[in-house]
Amino acid sequence: ITHLSDQQYREPADLYFEAVVEYSEDARKEGRYIEVEYSGHVISIIAPGIGSFVLTSDLHSRQILFNSPISGSKAFDWVAQGE
């Protein structure tokens, strides 16, 4: 795991979360019925008939946490190229 300062972790994590929200909102505009909520480094995407997907940016562990009704819980670490 790469050791990062709060800012070194937060900047790319925030960019990633903004991209996920934008993609989800575009999908909604294209007619896919989903609800998207983004608050306090947590994204909730509710897909009727499937369930709720939750992404959390955990500053303490420097991980992106993903909960899915399909695949369960996953944690993703930041890994720099060359590690």
Q: Terminal CA-to-CA distance of the chain, rounded, Å?
A: 8
- Domain contains 59: yes
| Domain that includes residue 34, residue range | 6-76
- Domain contains 58: yes
- Domain contains 81: no
3-state secondary structure of 61: coil
**pLDDT tens, 19-51?**
999 999 999 888 888 899 999 899 999 998 999
How far apart are the C-alpha atoms of 59 and 82, rounded to whole Å? 23
Is the predicted pLDDT of residue 63 greater than 60, yes or no?
A: yes
- Domain contains 63: yes
What pTM, to 2 d.p., does this model score?
A: 0.81
- Domain contains 83: no
- Domain contains 1: no
Domain count, the chain: 1
For residue 13, what is the enclosing H or E element?
Answer: helix 6-29
4 or 70, greater pLDDT: 70
CATH of the domain at 54: 3.30.920.10
